[in-house]
């Protein structure tokens, strides 16, 4: 390591030592501990607020974004040092944010200077919470079939239509949204606009899922007036931005929603028991072993892709591949957890089941969405087949 990086490590370590509150160095106990920020966010823990403020002020919630837009301005090497130092003290992620994972990277690439200056710093500091207005009731996997209408009314855009699966739209301050600006063409008639969720005519309604929770919403737009300057990129040029954003989404989503607090092996040891050092249920043992191997293979592949990207290799195709593999992996893990926990994972609510038991049940049901959200497994397999393997549709 160069001398500069060593200095950076020393300084970072000292800063974290001083600024990361003690309760932010403990593992999260559940999804409720995730800090999402935004105008109306209520912090359950004052130290979580402090941690976000301090990290946000440093720009370290988005360490590699340029400092002029509120980011940390760190090089890739410095960021690796920062991440390893955060890991060393088991620091919690200060902010969970679609703005950082998905919107920010495309704004950096496609937005004009004014838009970048307006939105990026607020994302970094967790002041504005974003949701994604992509899917519609009639346009899920066939996303480009979307119909939400956006008309040019001279001094503003007028938006009418409905979105679905808008994660946390009921808590979001703003929405990045795909709209139809030309009905005569499909992909080339889509634009990318930013919408303030408090605008008149925006309405959200949570959707209850099989897991009992409702992170998703339906979002309705009725005669919503959006200022002209809130379109990103050119008119009818939204599809390219949409695809790029999906790539970021797929890269981030593969590990998302996986509550890895309880290890499947520990769970099996607890509920199945050991006989001569091996799980008594030998078939389950073999299947868990195969799963643990895939988990390791996945982790090693992510490491490899990172290394290849650093060496200048083209790893863009990896996003779809990782999305498919990550979803399958998480679903397999959840199935095995339920199986290992036996009747302890069959509860729904009330007494008689521990919080961990209930989390196992709910996590299993939630995981079914992993192969649907962010592009279904089938759509991502299409992407791999076409873009990586060069297999072309013939119709």
Partner 1 sequence: MTFTLNDEQRMLKDAARDFFREQAPVTRLRKQRDEKKNGRDPDLWREMAAMGWAGVIIPEEFGGVGLGYVALGAVLEEGGRTLVASPLHSSALAGASALLLAGTDAQKQEWLPKIAAGEVTATIAIDEGAHHAPTKSKMKFDGGKLTGEKKYVADGHIADLIIVAGADALYLVKSDAAGLTRRELITADSRGAADLKFEGVAAQKMNGGADVIDAILDRARIGLAAEMVGQASEAFEITSEYLKTRRQFGQVIGGFQALQHRAAKLFTDLELTRSCVLAALDALDRNSNNIAEYASLAKARASETVHLASNEMVQLHGGIGMTDEHDAGLYLKRARVAEALYGGASFHRDRYASLLGF
Tokens of 356: 């961990």
H or E segment at 333? helix 318-341
Taking the complex as a whole, how short is the minimal distance between the CB of residue 178 and partner 1, in angstroms? 25
- Per CB under 8 A, the list member of 40, 278, 350, 352 interacting with partner 1 is 278
Phi-psi region of 233 (alpha: psi -120 to 50; beta: other; left: phi over 0): left
- Assign 376 to helix, strand or coil: coil
Taking the complex as a whole, how short is the minimal distance between the CB of residue 268 and partner 1, in angstroms? 7
CA dihedral 26, 105, 218, 257 (to 10 degrees): -30
What does the DSSP 8-state code read for residue 172?
-
Site map 186..225 versus partner 1, x via CB under 8 A:
----------------------------------------
Nearer to partner 1, 198 or 395 (CB): 395
E strand residue ranges, the chain: 130-133, 149-152, 156-164, 174-180, 190-196, 202-207, 216-227, 231-232, 274-275, 278-279
CB 214 within 8 A of CB 119: no
Measured distance CA(202)–CA(219) in Å, rounded:
7
Nearer to partner 1, 125 or 271 (CB): 271
* 293 binds partner 1, rule: CB under 8 A: yes
Q: Using the rule CB under 8 A, give the single segment among 9-17, 142-150, 367-375, 384-392 that binds partner 1.
A: 384-392
Taking the complex as a whole, how short is the minimal distance between the CB of residue 298 and partner 1, in angstroms? 6
* 292 binds partner 1, rule: CB under 8 A: yes
CB 84 within 8 A of CB 45: no
Site map 305..334 versus partner 1, x via CB under 8 A:
--xx--x---------x--xx---------
- Per CB under 8 A, the list member of 8, 157, 174, 298 interacting with partner 1 is 298
Binding site for partner 1 (CB under 8 A): 265, 268-269, 274, 277-279, 285-286, 288-290, 292-294, 296-298, 300-301, 303-304, 307-308, 311, 321, 324-325, 378, 381-382, 384-386, 388-395
């Amino acid at each position: 390591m160069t001398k500069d990086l060593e200095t950076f490590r020393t300084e970072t370590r000292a800063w974290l030592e001083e600024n990361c509150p003690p309760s932010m160095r403990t593992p999260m106990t559940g999804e409720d501990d995730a800090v999402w920020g935004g105008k109306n966010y209520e912090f359950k823990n004052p130290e979580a607020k402090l941690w976000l403020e301090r990290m946000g002020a440093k720009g370290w919630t988005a360490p590699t974004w340029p400092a002029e837009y509120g980011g940390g301005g760190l090089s890739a090497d410095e960021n690796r040092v920062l991440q390893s130092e955060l890991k060393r003290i088991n620091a919690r992620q200060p902010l969970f944010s679609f703005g950082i994972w998905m919107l920010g990277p495309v704004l950096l690439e496609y937005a004009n200077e004014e838009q970048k200056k307006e939105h990026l710093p607020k994302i970094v500091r967790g002041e504005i919470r974003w949701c994604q207005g992509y899917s519609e009731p009639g346009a899920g996997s066939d996303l480009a079939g979307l119909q939400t209408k956006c008309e040019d009314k001279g001094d503003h855009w007028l938006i009418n239509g409905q979105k679905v699966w808008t994660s946390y739209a009921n808590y979001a301050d703003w929405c990045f949204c795909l709209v139809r600006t030309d009905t005569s063409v499909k992909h080339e008639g889509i634009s990318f606009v930013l919408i303030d969720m408090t605008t008149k005519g925006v309405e959200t309604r949570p959707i209850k899922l099989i897991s009992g929770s409702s992170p998703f919403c339906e979002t309705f737009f009725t005669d919503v007036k959006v200022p002209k300057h809130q379109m990103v990129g050119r008119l009818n040029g939204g599809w390219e931005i949409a695809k790029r954003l999906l790539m970021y989404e797929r890269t981030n989503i593969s590990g998302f929603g996986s509550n890895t607090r309880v290890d499947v092996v520990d769970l099996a040891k607890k509920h199945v028991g050991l006989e001569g050092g091996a799980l008594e249920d030998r078939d389950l043992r073999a299947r868990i072993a195969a799963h643990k191997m895939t988990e390791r293979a996945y982790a090693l592949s992510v490491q490899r892709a990172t290394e290849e990207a650093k060496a200048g290799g083209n790893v863009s195709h990896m996003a779809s591949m990782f999305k498919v593999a990550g979803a399958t992996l998480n679903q397999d893990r959840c199935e095995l957890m339920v199986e290992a926990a036996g009747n302890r994972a069959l509860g729904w609510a009330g007494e008689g089941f521990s919080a961990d038991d209930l989390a196992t049940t709910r996590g299993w049901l939630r995981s079914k969405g992993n192969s649907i959200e962010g592009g279904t497994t089938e759509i991502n397999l299409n992407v791999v087949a076409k873009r990586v393997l060069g297999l072309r549709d013939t119709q």
